[in-house]
Amino acid sequence: MNKEDLVQQLANLPIPDIRFHESIGSTNDEGLAWAEAGAADGSLVVAEQQTKGRGRLGRSWVTNPGAALAFTLILQPTPAEMEHIGLFSPLAGLAVCLALQGMGLPAEIKWPNDVLLNRQKTCGILAESSWEAQSLRAVVIGVGINVAPSSIPPADQLQFPATCVEDHLGRPVQREKLLQEILAAFFTWRGIMGTIAFFRAWEERLAFKGESVYLKNSGNEVLTGILLGVGEHGDLRIHLSEGGVKLVSVGDVHLRPVDYFEGSGS
Ligand code: BTN
């Protein structure tokens, strides 16, 4: 990848500025610093390699050069979007899922926003916010996608089974083109974030629907039940094993099918 190709490939999208780095600590850190310095809505950071890539819950995220997509989009939510601020990362997951489906791949979303191929993780998303006193300055949405096989971390570093796009496609992927398709879907669906059509599109692509799942929140509370779908605010609807339907809101929740959990740590 290089900046020139990126600028050309993304020319028709509402992206006012792009920063491309051969190697950087974390595109999210750069996105947060750029937001603080006044980055406009839609500004984009892309890196070939991250040396301190960050995942959810303080984990690290490996981005080896030439093998992955790692980018951060800086957003300044409109007043209407402020009502659905927690939906930006599911929106990014939906956009990645749509782009992979557009390539003929059976991508699914592990609620709320990881993207899976064949029930294995190929994309993770980390949304963070930048504040100025009490007011939100910007939201940064960091997306990491395993594209080539060398992007998949060793099994002992994984919390959830992982895969990559090329292993499912059977041919090399042009990463600039994949990025363009993801961002085009993101900006299209951004306009209807939080609508019934948005929740339906999300639910239609949900992994493990109708299956027994295990959920653990940051307070180590555990729930098991059948995954029903997405509720009207983006909550996960579960038919609990002990009876009754529960809505689980988007937050730091681990979700996995019960059969993945047996014997696993988190
Ligand atoms: C997860 O834990 O699943 C989220 C992983 C998010 C990784 C991406 S890669 C681009 C951006 N920069 C980071 O440091 N993290 C995100």
The residues spanned by each domain of the chain are 3-204, 212-264
> What number does the ligand 1 atom closest to the CA of 50 have?
14
261 vs 259: CA distance, rounded Å: 5
Class of the 212-264 domain? mainly beta
Among residues 38, 33, 41, the alpha carbon closest in space to that of 74 is found at 41
Q: What is the pLDDT of residue 262?
A: 47
Give residue ranges with CB within 6 A of ligand 1: 26-28, 50, 53-56, 59, 61, 63, 70, 72, 114, 124-126, 142-144
DSSP H helices in the chain: 3-9, 27-36, 79-82, 88-102, 165-169, 175-190, 196-204, 258-261
- Amino acid identity, position 139: V
If one residue of 126, 182, 218 were mutated to test the ligand 1 pocket, choosing by the most ligand atoms within 8 A of its CB, it would be: 126
Q: Which strands make up the sheet holding 212-217, listed edge to edge?
A: 245-248, 236-240, 222-230, 212-217, 253-257
H or E segment to which residue 249 belongs: none
Cβ-defined contacts of 190-198 (< 8 Å, 24+): 190/81, 190/91, 193/81, 193/84, 193/87, 193/88, 193/91, 194/83, 194/84, 194/87, 196/232, 198/87, 198/91, 198/94
CA of 127 to the centre of ligand 1 (A): 8
| Residue among 20, 61, 71 to mutate when testing ligand 1 (max atoms within 8 A of CB) | 61
User: Is 212-264 the same fold as 3-204?
Assistant: no
Q: How far apart are CA 118 and CA 102, in angstroms?
A: 16
Stated as kind and residue range, the H or E segment containing 231 is none
Q: Which parts of the chain have pLDDT scores under 70?
A: 251-252, 260-266
Superfamily of domain 3-204: Bira Bifunctional Protein; Domain 2 (3.30.930.10)
Q: Looking at the CA of residue 121, tell me the nearest atom of ligand 1.
A: 3
Any idea which residue has 């998303």 for tokens?
A: 125
Give the pLDDT score at 265. 31
- Kindly give the number of the ligand 1 atom that is closest to the alpha carbon of 54: 14
For ligand 1, the distance from its centroid to the CA atom of residue 68, given in whole angstroms, is 11
- The phi and psi torsions of 139 (rounded to 5 degrees) equal -110, 135
Residue owning the nearest CA to atom 16 of ligand 1: 142
CA-CA-CA-CA torsion for 69, 151, 127, 112, nearest 10 degrees? 110
Dihedral sign for Cα 102, 103, 104, 109, please.
Answer: negative
Give how far Cα 151 sits from Cα of 90, 101, 165, Å.
23, 20, 10
Q: What is the pLDDT of residue 216?
A: 85
Judge whether 222 and 256 are in contact, CB under 8 Å. Answer: no
At 261 the pLDDT is 52
The confidence score (pLDDT) of residue 252 equals: 63
The Cα angle at residue 158 between residues 170 and 26, in degrees rounded to 5: 85
Query: Alpha-carbon distance 10 to 187, whole Å?
Result: 12
Residue 230 pLDDT: 93
Backbone angles phi, psi at 248, to 5 degrees: -110, 125
